[in-house]
A and B are shown apart, each in its own frame.
Chain A
Amino acid sequence: MKKTILSLAVVLTFALTAFSPATKFITKNGHISFFSHTPVEDITANNYKVVGTIDPTSGEVVFSVPMQSFEFEKALMQEHFNGKDFLNTKAFPKAKFQGKITDLTSVDFSKDGTYTASVSGELTLKEVAKPVSASGSITVKGSAITIEAKFPIALADYGIVFKKGKPSTNIAKSVDVTVKAEYQPE
């Protein structure tokens, strides 16, 4: 009896390893942008240097974002963004997102197609971690996958508050973050 259970366990372990998909997907080719809308002006910034991973087994999603790679149309805005009052990128050069795909069972990483998915986790800016949730899509095509997602963040969550002057009227309290990334298996 003991032997049967043991051999069954061995067979099961082998079977699971054989059928589990690629260990991990990696992206170094992504695009993160954010958009702030106020009646005074619209501000966008773009970043093409994100690094990220997706573990198809656990559903874990990680992004690391070099903050100085955000580019604005206006040089002065970019300076303010990097500065001490805003994101202090010299002291905190990277932002991090860590989360999990909440509806992992609806995504088949081994079958071509586009799946809607939700991710929830924590976004860390300036060492302040706050919960965020994003909904989007995962597209599987051959061995590669592409994800697209969008979520809002409240600047006040990260201690970014402007009481007076131009920033208080020209920067929205909540900005929309859009993510697109192309992954390859590790």
Chain B
Amino acid sequence: MAKRKFFKWLLILVIAGVVVAGGIGLYLFNKPHRDVQASSIDFSISSEALVQEFLNNPSNANAKYLDETGDSKIIAVTGTVHSISKDLKDQFVLLLKTDTAKVGVSCTFTQDTNLNAEKVKSGDHVTVKGVIRSGAGYDQDLDLYEDVVLEKCDLIKE
């Protein structure tokens, strides 16, 4: 009789375990993307200083700012708006760059934050929060300087 009770409990435990494991698996499989704007800022920096870090030492800067999972550092970048454009997904792109600099920080907004970017004019001094995707650098094959890429951006108060 005691044996039977033991097996009954064992069965309940096993079933509970399977349900919990399955639940965790399903949660992980369907877990939402990180909400960049709701997450805390890792670094606050000027656009020139950020660019310079990548130009001075690309591998150090990559190690500092990029994450293995793709959820890289969230940065608040302050700078002057050099140009405003829209990408093929209809998202606003602000390029923060001084007139004399070769390269800047390209900040792509989202469908949700587009309205905030719409009010910005070139020459404005702004602070943009977003996730870094790649650094700045000179590419020999392109014969061009590539900007720092920030995405999921929104304007924040300085």
Contacts and interface: CB of A to CB of B under 8 A. Distances in A.
A74 B90 CA distance: 22
B53 interface: no
Contacts, number: 93
12 contacts: A28-B85, A31-B88, A48-B87, A48-B91, A49-B133, A51-B144, A68-B134, A76-B28, A76-B31, A83-B68, A89-B68, A96-B141
Given A76-B31, A78-B70, A53 B88 contact: no
If over half of B's interface residues share one DSSP class (helix, strand or loop), that class is named, otherwise mixed; here it is: loop
Contacts of A134: none
Nearest to A94: B134
| For the complex of A and B, 10 pairs with smallest distance between CB atoms | A82-B70, A66-B134, A68-B133, A31-B88, A79-B69, A75-B33, A69-B133, A90-B66, A90-B68, A48-B87
A89 B66 contact: yes
Given A51-B142, A51-B146, A78-B33, 10 more contacts: A48-B89, A48-B91, A51-B139, A51-B144, A68-B134, A74-B30, A79-B70, A79-B71, A82-B68, A96-B141
Contacts of A24: 143
Interface of A: 24, 26, 28-31, 46, 48-49, 51-53, 62, 64, 66-69, 74-76, 78-79, 81-84, 88-90, 93-94, 96, 98, 180, 182
Nearest to B67: A90
Given A68-B134, A89-B70, A90-B67, A49 B151 contact: yes
Contacts of B133: 49, 66, 68-69, 93
B158 to A, nearest CB: 26
Interface in B45-86: 62-63, 66-72, 85
A150 to B, nearest CB: 16
